[in-house]
Every structure is written in structure tokens, then in C-alpha cells.
């Protein structure tokens, strides 16, 4: 659980005449089709452009933008739409890594881009933020089957064009929902595969009614037992979209969300536990009992609590208005509201009851088993507004955004062994959060001569963050729950400048420089005590991002090379330690950097065969790293230059795409080199490098009137690699002896998922 984020509206630096022409063409098509008022099948197909894609303030990068980016096509989205979470799709792009707790890509998934975790990546749908304003992360299973509603995806690396919002620090993921069809139709999809993974989805669209109106609806269920034991996932989702389309104005109202129930798989497993109990073992929900039905290798009898689950409801609502005044001016306004409520339940074995003040226990020696809940309810609402001008020699955009977030957190206890229900009432912790986020921006593109464009963007952002009450951590030094008293006001100025030059039609050079700033997360404040020796607070981070790139594009060959150098001040880097919810504990380091080269290429070898691949080589370093983890064996020592945790030197992929008539096959291999779990470069606290190959097979049977049946089969981990995609770890001293603790999340061996989709 945890979710929703702030919103912003930074303009696209390269809105450009290309985007203007596209919008103008759409409006001309609008006028023509409205005058004809044709409802025949042939005319509906011909006027498909009448319903254009959603245009939001944060416009995409294009071929003339000074930004490293990758677009994912509708075909690539369809191939990965059997039931897996969106990170499996994003992992197809350069410098991206997907992780998963359950071992099969469903539930508990996350991503890293250039070594940067999800809390620093700006994720939006139609310009609305998905990042949680408090944790700054994106929890993909809170928006189940969002991938089915997505029409296209763009991943921008580095500060990019979207330097807006809590997460826009290492990259941006911009998604827009699919454009409604102009004729009545829909689809039904069924998937089933290994570990009882299954998906059922139904989509119906009204088509264009009365020349102006459309309604779309979608229902989905996704379930899986998971590869890890008890790693079950149960996701139910919906999407409802209605729209009005006029010659100059479009208005769309969307609502999407769902209910997620996932067994907690936060806790990793050690290599010793994997050796003793197998790779599917984990300890969540496990408790010792003399009559337990399960016996561990050491003879201990245990049982498992069946409802050790994360439960969350999220509803996202958007109202999007686009209006074109004339061939030069366009306006975009988006309002949104997101509601979230959820909790996770935990069985806790032999807890010290004195830590729970609502129980009224004064004897510090009393222990008992219990079932407890951690609960949150949040509201996020806001608006983006912008105006865009496009002319012969350039473009200008300006606007702003504002959002408000509130979220009380509290905990209650359902059961305590040996106590009556009327003795365990009340809350054992209770705190609240208020966050407001606003920005103003202006951006421009100037084309002084053919092929050359200069761009500049400036954003002013102000963030107010307050949290108060008591947290869920008991402090034995003060003998009370940890108090929360945070009241911060941040002012950030984020500039971006770039130059782009296109020559000889196929060649493109670009360079850019950007400064990005980011505030700490909630956990950076509340969980600092878990490793810090002092009572200091986290500092905001600052990034200086330098990018230089080259692109070549021809009919059968495309190539891109990008060099980046990202210099940080006070970067919050992961320590390797995690809190009770397995969120990373971060620490500021004064001086650090990430630099590297990204190469991507695609070659159409023949009409029926395409090869593509990408490789990233990077160096991710802390200069003069001083270990500030209080219990670390190297506490207080300057360790010199060290590699930043979770930052591999190499990420590479290679894919071959075979397609003839209705049949297609894609073989994809991805390699990720060693990643350290801590910043001390300790090999026993690291993730081994891994190489994984997937095979996607599909056959599309075309029927009459654009109807079709598609059969698909994905075989994951084709060569049965035994690998772990994520983990955490730490070192400590006890009675003069050093201990290194490392926990891993094993991924499933070879497994498959089949799908059939009928379009009608």
C-alpha cells in the first residue's frame, strides 16, 4: 500500500511545429468528419483521426528533442498484456531494471532507471501523477491492469523534459490512455499459465455517437499463486471513459482503479534458507507453535497466518479539456482526484506488549502473539493548466499546477493471545500528513535556421510538507512511540536548456543541461533513527544533468548513442537496510555521480526479421564516502570512492523479431551485471549478475470487419536461470564479531503464460 503523488505541469521543451502540425491536421479532420455525420463502417474507419490522443501539458519528446527517450509501441504493449505488471513492459527500454517480490512479475513489482529507484521517477497517466506524494514511489498493483488501458508509453532518461514533481529526478514515464475507436467494438481476453496465473478482461467501446460522443468501459481480474510460497495476488480493476469531441474542443472524463489483495512478500530469503528450505521459502506470516502442521529442517514446528495480506482500494478520476483557439494557440486543463484506502494485516509472534500503549500493559517482560493492522486513507486532488503557442520559427508554453494531499495513518490490533477483545481497543499509533505542491513554468523553442532548434525551460516549484502525531516505531530510549513533527517548506528552481541539430536528413545531434531538485520522502524523516547516530534530518537533493546524444534514422536501420553525466549534491542513496515494510532506508552523501553511455539500435534484416538491442555501461560512484550507519563495522570511516548500491555497471539486451503473415515470434535476452546491496562494495552483500531469455509467440487470425482472434504464448526464463532480481542487506558488529546479513527475492525458473484475445 501507499500511493498517489503530486502533480505538475511542465511544458514540453520541444512542442515544436511538428506537434502543432499534427494537432492542426486533427482539427481539419474533425471539421470534415463532423460535417459529413457519416456512421457507416467505411466512413468510421476513414475518420479514425477524428478522435485524437489526449494532449496534456507535459508533452512528449520527439525526434527533434534534446532528450534521451524511448517510445513503446502499441504492438509491444499488446505482447506484454497477458497479465504481468507494467514494469515487465518498461524493462524493454535501455538502462531499465524490473524487480519483483513474488517471482513472476505480478504483485510487488518495481523499477530502477540508471540505478535510480522508483521514488525518483516521475510516472504520469495523461499528465496525472501516479507517484505517492508521501513515499514518492509508484505501486503498480494499486492500478491493476493499467497496461490494458494504455495507448502508448514514453520513457525519458535523466532530468528530461518532465522536471516536474516529486519523482522527476532520474527519469520520467509518461503514459496516455488509448484513443477510443470511432466504431462500436471491444475485446475479450483470457490468460492462464504457471503458478495458477490467470487473467480475464472485457472491453467495450460505443464508437462515435452523434458525431461527437464516445463511451468506453473495461473490467479485469488478475490472479496468481506466485512463485514464492503464499505469494498470492488477487487484482480487480475497472476503467470508464466518456468523451465529447468538437471541431476545436475535446472533453474527456475518465475513472479507473481497482481493488488489490496481495499476500505480503516484503521479506526476502537468505542463501542459507534457500539451501535448507528451497528457493520458494519466505517467512511472512510464519509463527512457531508446538502443534504446527509444518516442520522446518531444524525440527521447529510452524504454521502460517492465511491473511498476512496487503489490501488496497484506489480510484483515479480525471477531467481533461483541450481547446484550440486558432492555428497558433492551444489550451490544456486537467483536473483530477484520487482516493485511496488500504491496510495490511500481520501476524506477529511473541511481541512485547509494553510497546503497544493501547493495551495498558506495564510489565515490560510480557510477550504474546498478535494480529495487527496498519491503515491509511488518502485524498489527492489537483489541476494542471497550460497554454501553448506554435509558430513558424518556434513555440512557447507556459502554465502551472497545484495539488493537495492528505493521509492519516493509524494502527489497530485485532487479536492478542490471552486477551479479550474489549481489552485491546484503540489505536497503537496515529499520525497525519498534509502536502501541497505548486509550480509555475515557462518553456520555449526557437528555430533560427533550418535543422537547428534551441530550447529552454524554467520551473519554479514550492512544496509544503507537514506530518504530525506518533509513528509506529517504539523508542526504548524515551519509552514511548516515536513522535512525528515535520514542518517543511521547499523552494526549487529547475532550469533546462538544450540544443538540437538535424543534418543530412537522417542525422541528429543534441545536447542539454538541467538542474533538478527533490525533497526527502516520509521514510527519510521517520526512519532515519534506525541507522543514524545523531538526530539530524535529511537534506533535499540536487542534480546537475549533462547529456549529449546522436541519432541516426533510416528506413531499415536506426541507431542512438547517448552520453550522460549526472552530478549530485546530497543524493539520498540506499543504505541496503529496509524498514518494516521493506522500503529502502536512505542516507545523504555530499558528493556522488552517475555517468555512462547508452547505445540502442534496430535493424530490419528482412521484411520478416528485425533485430534490436541496447547496452548501457555506467559508473555510479560516491566520492569520499563516510559510513554513517551507526552499527556498521566501518562506522565513521572515510572509505574513499565507492559504488552506489543497486547500480550495475552493465545492462544489455538483444531481441530478434520474426513476423510473417499472422505469425510472430520474439526472442529477448537481457543481462544485468553485479549489483551491491550496500555502499561498501562487499561481495557477500550483492546480487549476482544474471542473464534471462524470454520467448513470445503469437498468431493473429483476421476475420471480417476488422474482427480478429489473437493467440499468444510467452515462455519466461527460457533457459531456466536461477537468479534473484532484488534484495537488501547490511553489516553489523556484535560482541566484536562482524555479521553480514543479505536477503534476496528469487525469481521463477522457466514458466509460461498463454493468452487468447478476441476483438469484435
Tell me, yes or no, whether 3 lies in a domain: no
**b/e for 117-133, b at 16 or more Cβ within 10 A?**
bbbbbbbbbbbbbbbbb
* Distance between CA atoms of residues 196 and 544, nearest Å: 47
- For all residues of the chain together, what is the average pLDDT? 89
Question: Which pLDDT value is given to residue 45?
Answer: 35
Question: Which pLDDT value is given to residue 25?
Answer: 38
Domain total of the chain: 1
- Which regions of 530-607 does DSSP assign to beta strands (E)? 541-553, 557-578, 584-606
Question: Which pLDDT value is given to residue 700?
Answer: 95
Q: 735 in the Ramachandran plot: left (φ > 0), alpha (ψ -120 to 50) or beta?
A: left
For residue 23, which phi and psi values (nearest 5 degrees)? -65, -40
**How many residues are given for the chain?**
760
CA distances from 456 to 173, 386, 416, 519 (A): 21, 16, 61, 24
Tell me, yes or no, whether 5 lies in a domain: no
**Other beta carbons within 10 Å of 549:** 21
Q: For 7-50, write each residue's pLDDT tens digit.
A: 333 333 233 333 333 333 333 333 333 333 333 333 333 334 45
Tell me, yes or no, whether 642 lies in a domain: yes
* Distance between CA atoms of residues 734 and 751, nearest Å: 42
Sign of torsion, CA 164 168 173 177? negative
Q: Which of 322, 338, 313 is nearest to 130 (CA)?
A: 338
Question: Which pLDDT value is given to residue 535?
Answer: 82
Whether residue 327 has pLDDT greater than 80: yes
CA distances from 7 to 254, 307, 518 (A): 17, 34, 14
Tell me, yes or no, whether 10 lies in a domain: no
Sign of torsion, CA 130 131 133 135? positive
* Mean pLDDT (whole number) for 733-738: 91
Percent of the chain with pLDDT over 90: 79
Range from 163-172, 376-385, 703-712 carrying the lowest mean pLDDT: 163-172
CB 592 within 8 A of CB 543: no
What is the pLDDT confidence band of residue 297, given thresholds at 50, 70 and 90? confident
* Distance between CA atoms of residues 337 and 347, nearest Å: 34
Q: Which of 68, 94, 79 is nearest to 612 (CA)?
A: 94
Classify residue 446 as exposed, middle or buried by CB count within 10 Å of its CB (0-12, 13-18, 19+).
middle
Tell me, yes or no, whether 11 lies in a domain: no
What is the pLDDT confidence band of residue 162, given thresholds at 50, 70 and 90? low
Question: Which pLDDT value is given to residue 80?
Answer: 84
Straight-line distance from the first to the last Cα atom of the chain, in angstroms, rounded to the nearest whole number: 36
Tell me, yes or no, whether 719 lies in a domain: yes
User: Diameter of the chain by CA atoms?
Assistant: 85
Sign of torsion, CA 746 122 384 11? negative
**b/e for 166-202, b at 16 or more Cβ within 10 A?**
bbbbbbbbbbbbbbbbbbebbbebebbbbbebbbebe
* Distance between CA atoms of residues 264 and 310, nearest Å: 6
- Domain CATH code at residue 689: 2.40.170.20
Q: For 410-422, write each residue's pLDDT tens digit.
A: 999 999 999 999 9
Q: For 70-111, write each residue's pLDDT tens digit.
A: 999 888 888 888 989 999 999 999 999 999 999 999 999 999
Q: For 328-340, write each residue's pLDDT tens digit.
A: 999 999 999 999 9
Print the domain residue range for 396. Answer: 16-759
Tell me, yes or no, whether 324 lies in a domain: yes
* Distance between CA atoms of residues 522 and 502, nearest Å: 44
* Distance between CA atoms of residues 425 and 195, nearest Å: 39
pTM for this prediction? 0.89
Range from 57-66, 173-182, 509-518, 523-532 carrying the lowest mean pLDDT: 57-66
* Distance between CA atoms of residues 148 and 230, nearest Å: 26
* Distance between CA atoms of residues 346 and 647, nearest Å: 32
* Distance between CA atoms of residues 146 and 151, nearest Å: 10
Classify residue 299 as exposed, middle or buried by CB count within 10 Å of its CB (0-12, 13-18, 19+).
exposed
Question: Which pLDDT value is given to residue 414?
Answer: 95
What is the pLDDT confidence band of residue 141, given thresholds at 50, 70 and 90? confident
Range from 57-61, 81-85, 686-690 carrying the lowest mean pLDDT: 57-61
Tell me, yes or no, whether 227 lies in a domain: yes
Specify which residues 537 forms β-bridges with: none
Amino acid at each position: 500500500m501507499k500511493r498517489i503523488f503530486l502533480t505538475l505541469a511542465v511544458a514540453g521543451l520541444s512542442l515544436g511545429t511538428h506537434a502543432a502540425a499534427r494537432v492542426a491536421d486533427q482539427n481539419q479532420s474533425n471539421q470534415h468528419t463532423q460535417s459529413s455525420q457519416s456512421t457507416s463502417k467505411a466512413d468510421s474507419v476513414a475518420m479514425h483521426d477524428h478522435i485524437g490522443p489526449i494532449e496534456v501539458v507535459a508533452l512528449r519528446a520527439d525526434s527533434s528533442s534534446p532528450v534521451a527517450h524511448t517510445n513503446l509501441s502499441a504492438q509491444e504493449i499488446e505482447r506484454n498484456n497477458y497479465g504481468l505488471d507494467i514494469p515487465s513492459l518498461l524493462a524493454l527500454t535501455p538502462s531499465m531494471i524490473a524487480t519483483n517480490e513474488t517471482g513472476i512479475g505480478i504483485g510487488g513489482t518495481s523499477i530502477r532507471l540508471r540505478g535510480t529507484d522508483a521514488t525518483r521517477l516521475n510516472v504520469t497517466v495523461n499528465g496525472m501523477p501516479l507517484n505517492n506524494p508521501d513515499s514518492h514511489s509508484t505501486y503498480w498493483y494499486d492500478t491493476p491492469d493499467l497496461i490494458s488501458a494504455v495507448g502508448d508509453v514514453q520513457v525519458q532518461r535523466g532530468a528530461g523534459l518532465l522536471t516536474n514533481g516529486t519523482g522527476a529526478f532520474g527519469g520520467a514515464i509518461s503514459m496516455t490512455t488509448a484513443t477510443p475507436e470511432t466504431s462500436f467494438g471491444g475485446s475479450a481476453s483470457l490468460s492462464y499459465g504457471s503458478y495458477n496465473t490467470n487473467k480475464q478482461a472485457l472491453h467495450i467501446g460505443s464508437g462515435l455517437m452523434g458525431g461527437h460522443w464516445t463511451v468506453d468501459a473495461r473490467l479485469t481480474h488478475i490472479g496468481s499463486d506466485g512463485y514464492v510460497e503464499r505469494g498470492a495476488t488477487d487484482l480487480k480493476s475497472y476503467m470508464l471513459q466518456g468523451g465529447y469531441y468538437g471541431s476545436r474542443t475535446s472533453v474527456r472524463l475518465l475513472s479507473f482503479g481497482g481493488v488489490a489483495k496481495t499476500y505480503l512478500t516484503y521479506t526476502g530469503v537468505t542463501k542459507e534458507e534457500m539451501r535448507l528450505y528451497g528457493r520458494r521459502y519466505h517467512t511472512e506470516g510464519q509463527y512457531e507453535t508446538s502443534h504446527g502442521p509444518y516442520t522446518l529442517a531444524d525440527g521447529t514446528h510452524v504454521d502460517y497466518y492465511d491473511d498476512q495480506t496487503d489490501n488496497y482500494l484506489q480510484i483515479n478520476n480525471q477531467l481533461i479539456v483541450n481547446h484550440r483557439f486558432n492555428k497558433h494557440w492551444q489550451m490544456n486543463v486537467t483536473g483530477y482526484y484520487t482516493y485511496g484506502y488500504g491496510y495490511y494485516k500481520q501476524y506477529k509472534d511473541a511481541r512485547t506488549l509494553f510497546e503497544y500503549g493501547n493495551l495498558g500493559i506495564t510489565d515490560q517482560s510480557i510477550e504474546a502473539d498478535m494480529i495487527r493492522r496498519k491503515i491509511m486513507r488518502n485524498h489527492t486532488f489537483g489541476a494542471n493548466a497550460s497554454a501553448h503557442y506554435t509558430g513558424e520559427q518556434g513555440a512557447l508554453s507556459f502554465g502551472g499546477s497545484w495539488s493537495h494531499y492528505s493521509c492519516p495513518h493509524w494502527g489497530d490490533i485485532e487479536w492478542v493471545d490471552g486477551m479479550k477483545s474489549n481489552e485491546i481497543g484503540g489505536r497503537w499509533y496515529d499520525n497525519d500528513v498534509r502536502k501541497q505542491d505548486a509550480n509555475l513554468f515557462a518553456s520555449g523553442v526557437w528555430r533560427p535556421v533550418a535543422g537547428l532548434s534551441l530550447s529552454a525551460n524554467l520551473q519554479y516549484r514550492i512544496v509544503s510538507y507537514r506530518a504530525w502525531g506518533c509513528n509506529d516505531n517504539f523508542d526504548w530510549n524515551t519509552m514511548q512511540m516515536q513522535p512525528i513533527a515535520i514542518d517543511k517548506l521547499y523552494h526549487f528552481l529547475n532550469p533546462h536548456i538544450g540544443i538540437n541539430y538535424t543534418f543530412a536528413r537522417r542525422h541528429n545531434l543534441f545536447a542539454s543541461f538541467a538542474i533538478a531538485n527533490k525533497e526527502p520522502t516520509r521514510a527519510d524523516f521517520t526512519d532515519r533513527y534506525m541507522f543514524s547516530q545523531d538526530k539530524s534530518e535529511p537534506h533535499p537533493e540536487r542534480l546537475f544533468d549533462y547529456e549529449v546524444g546522436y541519432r541516426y534514422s533510416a528506413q531499415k536501420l536506426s541507431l542512438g548513442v547517448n552520453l550522460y553525466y549526472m552530478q549530485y549534491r546530497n543524493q539520498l542513496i540506499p543504505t541496503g537496510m529496509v524498514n518494516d515494510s521493506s522500503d529502502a532506508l536512505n542516507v545523504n552523501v555530499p558528493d556522488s555521480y552517475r555517468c555512462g553511455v547508452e547505445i540502442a539500435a534496430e535493424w530490419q534484416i528482412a521484411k520478416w526479421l528485425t533485430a534490436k538491442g541496447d547496452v548501457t555501461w555506467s559508473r555510479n560512484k560516491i566520492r569520499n564516502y563516510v559510513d554513517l550507519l551507526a552499527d556498521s563495522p566501518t562506522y565513521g570511516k572515510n572509505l574513499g570512492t565507492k559504488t552506489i548500491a543497486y547500480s550495475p555497471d552493465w545492462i544489455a539486451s538483444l531481441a530478434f523479431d520474426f513476423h510473417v503473415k499472422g505469425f510472430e515470434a520474439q526472442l529477448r535476452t537481457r543481462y544485468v551485471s553485479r549489483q551491491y546491496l550496500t555502499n561498501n562494495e562487499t561481495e557477500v552483500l550483492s546480487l549476482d549478475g544474471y542473464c534471462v531469455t524470454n520467448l513470445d509467440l503469437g498468431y493473429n487470425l483476421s476475420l471480417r470487419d476488422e474482427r480478429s482472434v489473437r493467440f499468444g504464448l510467452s515462455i519466461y526464463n527460457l533457459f531456466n536461470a536461477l537468479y534473484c532480481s532484488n534484495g537488501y542487506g547490511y553489516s553489523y558488529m556484535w560482541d566484536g564479531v562482524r555479521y553480514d546479513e543479505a536477503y534476496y527475492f528469487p525469481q521463477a525458473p522457466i514458466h509460461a503464460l498463454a493468452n487468447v484475445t478476441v476483438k469484435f
